[in-house]
Structure 1
Amino acid sequence: MTDTNDLIYRSRVRGCLLGGAIGDALGAPVEFWDRASIVRTCGEDGVTEFLPDMVGVDEVYGRVTDDTQMTLFTAEGMIRASVRCDRGLGFTVAVVHHAYDRWLDTQLEDGPDGTRDGWLINQQWLYSQRAPGQTCLSALISARQGERSIQRFGQPARNDSMGCGGVMRSAPFGLTPPGWAQSLEWQFDAAAEAASYTHGHPTGQLASGAQAALIAAIVAGQCLPDAVASTLAVLEGHEHHEETTDAIRRALAAAEVGEPGADVVESLGGGWVAHETLAIALYAALVHPGPEGIAEALTLSVSHSGDSDSTGAVCGNILGALYGDEALPPELAFEIEGRGTILELADDFIYEFTQSRRLHGDHFEGRNRWTTRYPGW
């Protein structure tokens, strides 16, 4: 008989990944719109449903961006790093850097060519450029160049960027089961390290660590205010934390006074940089509490003059982890691009981090099929 806690954990993981995709797709069409344009097209309430993208002559709804793409490759890289632990090497975050290199293929190639191993890289729908961040692209191309470059795999990027390209993909580091890591410090540090592969500024890394720690605290069963307090306690122990700490505290203060509104969101920044993305997403989640507030929170998180897809993705990660996949708005969830892949990967993540011995233990004759799907590098 399945334990209730197992079902809750499964729902949180699936909710986090699918919720992030929903927020991403909701905000993507208006990413470069100002607030006035959003109101003119969508009304005073903001973006309450998916706006169509034109693909050829067809209207397509629910298309995700690089935010969701890279989040999926983060989760896949973590599974592969866990498989690699069979060699007695421990969990190596740098394996995720190779996962980002596979994502780079989806931005440079038309489709899988059979030369890359694993399952996720062979999903044709991922081979599409959706305004990928130039910082991510340039850092990953630099690492791929190896000896001809100043950057290597597993090393920080040589730039000073604190853009949101790290924080928008960091949620999977918070999704390991309660008790798997010794403390929130591991999730925080691992996510910050993974962000450093493309973003060299401490704020870009620490905001990414904070998002992972926040998700981890939620997965452990904390309510959102308590999870924020736990996150701040970890964050404030790191050098250069002030910018991210201040952004989170401003979001908390804004949530305690006045009516929720887009003007408050605008006061927290545009979301183009990591700490502002986290602040906007957190504010939207705080001012519309409870599963009944998910749709309104997502709308608020994207209906502003900034990086709407990233703020929506991070907000969706938080809400999905908090309330589970069953609470996500079905009128949005059913139409998400790649929903089958997202949920299949979520389940595989759960299997790996809760049942790894059954998947690649010596007693399991199908272990080679699992490690072919997720090779340990």
Structure 2
Amino acid sequence: MSAVGGGGAIWGRAEQQDFRSRVRGCLLGGAIGDALGAGIEFESLDAIREAHGQEGVTDLVPAFGRRGAVTDDTQMTLFTVDGLIRAQVRRDTGAWHPPTDVHRAYLRWAATQHDWGPDERRKDDGWLAREEWLYSRRAPGKACLSGLGDEVMGTLEKPKNPDSKGCGAVMRSAPFGLLVGWEPQLVFQLAVECAAQTHGHPTGYLAAGALAVISHSLARGEDLDSAVQKALAHLATRPGHEETTDALKRALGAVRQGMPTPARVESLGEGWTAEEALSIAVYCALVAEDIRHGLLLAVNHSGDSDSTGAICGNLLGTLHGETALPPVWLVELEGRDTILQLADDFSMEMTQGAALHGPAGSSPGWLARYPRA
């Protein structure tokens, strides 16, 4: 990629198309993995097999009243993207602090968890917060709800929920890696700072940073093994990295132990904590014969199936692009049109933002979608 990033960088047409495919793949792949795991999230592997056969789930199963339903994992991931776009748009004003913009986006997500529907009086919310289908509780994590229960933003110096290392931050953090024009250490730092808004334990936020670096490498066209090695190098510089580092190393070690099985997945944990969710997702992505195989492996276990499926889907979708995603799952995916709109808006902002807003003039339609206020 000869030139990357928003704010005036020049992209070739083929580069733009490749980037858009990876962004779409990341968001749609994550949502598919989320939907595959949503109906079996709290079930043991034995119960899954009893209900769905020895192979476990092999297709979408009903959750929240329909097939293809997504959970809070996808909801929060979409608001991560919304916040990143808003940060780029607000850069023109000189108010350049992406953690604040992402935090405001997460507060908009939090409103969807207690409001009946969009508040048309809040014109500055932008278009995503007006999507009525998002106003539905999908088993959100307690740390996410409490961390966003007021407007005070958690920071690394004063994080929210300092003892929480649940997977609620890592499962929403793949989009930070789509900032391909940024250096990896800055992507890592932004993901870590935004994770601390709800999950203040070092493992809770460092796992989010690690996923962002892995996603960043994949979005730049690197292979998954190299991406994990980069994440390990960044983790090594941070206090409290040991649990996340060990979890990633266990995932790499499991790859060398033979054919992938649910038992091997479960040897890495259950996925309720950040480092276990990351480890399981990375392992399943590394051994995946294709996206279908990797996602089914990532959800058929006794643990947090939707989160491990979502993270694995983020990784495989970014690695292979949208055209590798199974179409039979895409057609039933809840919110697919919204996800595609958001993915394409993100791609346009990152590759052509200078044409949408800046000193020479701004698109009123774009600023209505992503207000600067």
TM-score band, normalised by the shorter chain?
Answer: over 0.9
Partner of 2:41: 31
Partner of 2:363: 367
Aligned length: 360
User: Hey, what's the Cα distance between the residues in 2 that align with 1:233 and 1:209?
Assistant: 12
Q: Kindly provide the CA deviation profile for residues 47-80 of structure 1, in whole angstroms up to 9, marking residues without a partner as x.
A: 211002363xxxx210000000000000000100
Distance 1:185-1:136 versus aligned 2 partners, 3 A rule: same
Partner of 2:133: 125
- 1:11 and 2:5 correspond: no
Q: Kindly provide the CA deviation profile for residues 217-262 of structure 1, in whole angstroms up to 9, marking residues without a partner as x.
A: 1111111111111111111111111100000000000011211000
Distance 1:193-1:152 versus aligned 2 partners, 3 A rule: closer
Q: Kindly provide the CA deviation profile for residues 248-297 of structure 1, in whole angstroms up to 9, marking residues without a partner as x.
A: 000000011211000011110010000000000011111114xxx11011
Amino acid across the alignment from 2:246: D
SS for the counterpart of 2:308 is helix
| 1:1-377 to 2 correspondences below 5 Å | 3-53=13-63, 55=65, 60-116=66-122, 117=124, 118-141=126-149, 143-144=150-151, 156-177=159-180, 180-181=181-182, 183-289=183-289, 293-364=290-361, 367-377=363-373
In the TM superposition, what is the alpha-carbon distance from 1:376 to its structure 2 partner?
Answer: 2.6
User: Which ranges of structure 2 fall in alignment gaps of 5 or more residues?
Assistant: 1-10
Amino acid across the alignment from 2:24: R
Q: Kindly provide the CA deviation profile for residues 302-331 of structure 1, in whole angstroms up to 9, marking residues without a partner as x.
A: 000000000000000000000000000111
User: Hey, what's the Cα distance between the residues in 2 that align with 1:164 and 1:369?
Assistant: 36
SS for the counterpart of 1:53 is coil
Question: Is residue 94–residue 153 contact of structure 1 (8 Å, CA) maintained in 2?
Answer: no
Amino acid across the alignment from 1:176: L
Amino acid across the alignment from 1:375: P
Q: Kindly provide the CA deviation profile for residues 83-114 of structure 1, in whole angstroms up to 9, marking residues without a partner as x.
A: 11101233422211110100011100111121
SS for the counterpart of 1:30 is coil
User: Hey, what's the Cα distance between the residues in 2 that align with 1:128 and 1:356?
Assistant: 32
User: Hey, what's the Cα distance between the residues in 1 that align with 2:369 and 2:12?
Assistant: 26
User: Which ranges of structure 1 fall in alignment gaps of 5 or more residues?
Assistant: none
User: Hey, what's the Cα distance between the residues in 1 that align with 2:235 and 2:88?
Assistant: 25
Amino acid across the alignment from 1:167: V
Question: Is residue 82–residue 91 contact of structure 1 (8 Å, CA) maintained in 2?
Answer: no
Amino acid across the alignment from 2:293: E
Question: Is residue 168–residue 274 contact of structure 2 (8 Å, CA) maintained in 1?
Answer: yes
User: Hey, what's the Cα distance between the residues in 1 that align with 2:177 and 2:121?
Assistant: 31
User: Hey, what's the Cα distance between the residues in 2 that align with 1:136 and 1:311?
Assistant: 17
Question: Is residue 195–residue 205 contact of structure 1 (8 Å, CA) maintained in 2?
Answer: yes
Amino acid across the alignment from 2:53: G
Question: Is residue 29–residue 317 contact of structure 2 (8 Å, CA) maintained in 1?
Answer: yes
Amino acid across the alignment from 2:347: I
Question: Is residue 82–residue 376 contact of structure 1 (8 Å, CA) maintained in 2?
Answer: no
Q: Kindly provide the CA deviation profile for residues 16-70 of structure 1, in whole angstroms up to 9, marking residues without a partner as x.
A: 0000000000001000000001111222222211002363xxxx21000000000
Q: Kindly provide the CA deviation profile for residues 319-375 of structure 1, in whole angstroms up to 9, marking residues without a partner as x.
A: 0000000000111111110000001000100111111110013444x6232112112
TM-score by length of 1: 0.92
User: Hey, what's the Cα distance between the residues in 1 that align with 2:312 and 2:23?
Assistant: 14
Question: Is residue 166–residue 274 contact of structure 1 (8 Å, CA) maintained in 2?
Answer: yes
User: Hey, what's the Cα distance between the residues in 2 that align with 1:312 and 1:367?
Assistant: 37
User: Hey, what's the Cα distance between the residues in 1 that align with 2:28 and 2:239?
Assistant: 33
Q: Kindly provide the CA deviation profile for residues 187-229 of structure 1, in whole angstroms up to 9, marking residues without a partner as x.
A: 1110111110000101000000000000001111111111111
User: Hey, what's the Cα distance between the residues in 2 that align with 1:64 and 1:23?
Assistant: 9
TM-score by length of 2: 0.93
Farther-moved stretch of structure 1 (115-124 vs 29-38)? 115-124
